[in-house]
Structure 1
Amino acid sequence: MYNFFPECPFHKYLHLDCPGCGSQRAIHALLHLDIKKAAGYNLLLVLSLPLLITQLTFKIYSFSTKKNLVMRFWYNPNTPKIIFAIVMIFWIARNLPYSPFNYLAA
């Protein structure tokens, strides 16, 4: 096992999972096309990928065609609040020791 990447301080000292815990393992699993395993490591990362890939596709298309193609909801003032709420709910839910929530733990 390599210790190249630093440990998550939240997990190291509080023994709880932060929203990003398991992201590196999830990306590794995705690179090996194992979506089920990746979702087990960090479900929020896996669920956010289609949206991020769509945004990247729009950006590449806009750059290559010189047409301004945007996803308008990114520019809504409520979008950062909604994303923050989703991350906070995920953070709390993945640390609950109850049956449906313990599957969210990294």
Structure 2
Amino acid sequence: MIQTSLQSSTPLLADPSVGRGRRLLWPAVSAAGATGFVLVAHLLDPNQPGNYPTCPWLLLTGTFCPGCGTLRATHALSNGDVLEALHRNPLAVATFVVLVLGFARWTRRQWRGERRMTAAPAWLLYGLFWVIMAFWVLRNVPGWTWLSPE
């Protein structure tokens, strides 16, 4: 018996009975949540004392976590100051770029009705983990103030 390849060059389509509006529900909800986050970070300046609580990790250990400075980076980006955002948390800025690109890809796939993609490969997830761990350690090295959010 001869086997044929099950893969085709055309994208696999989702259930055609599901309309575009329903397929775009979760991208719309995600966009609304991200917009709310940016709006709050823009309106309530994290550089002003008392607007937000202190990072629990910083409060307990006196060291910076990988997320320290993300609110200030978001505030700076919402004001158009990319250099200030990079100074506050370069990893957060890079993450925002990847998230926007991933969101655009996801929304396009939903618009077209293509099936869901599989999860990221393990090597990518492990690599991301080690990048975060390295950033965490390096931003707390004495004298490396260029990675600290202050």
1:25 to partner: Cα distance: 0.4
Residue pair 1:61, 1:69 contacting (<8 A) in 2 also: no
Runs of 4 or more above 2 Å deviation? 1-6, 67-70
Q: In structure 2, what is the equivalent of residue 105 of structure 1?
A: 148
Question: What secondary structure is seen at the aligned counterpart in 2 of 1:55?
Answer: helix
Gaps of 5+ in 2: 1-47
1:77 to partner: Cα distance: 1.4
Identity %: 26
What is the distance in 2 between the residues matched to 1:56 and 1:76? Answer: 18
Could you tell me which amino acid in structure 1 is paired with residue 73 of structure 2? A
1:84 to partner: Cα distance: 0.7
- Which has a greater percent of helix? 1
TM-score, structure 1 as length reference = 0.85
Gaps of 5+ in 1: none
TM-score, structure 2 as length reference = 0.62
1:2 to partner: Cα distance: 5.1
**Length, aligned pairs only:** 102
Q: CA RMSD in A?
A: 1.8
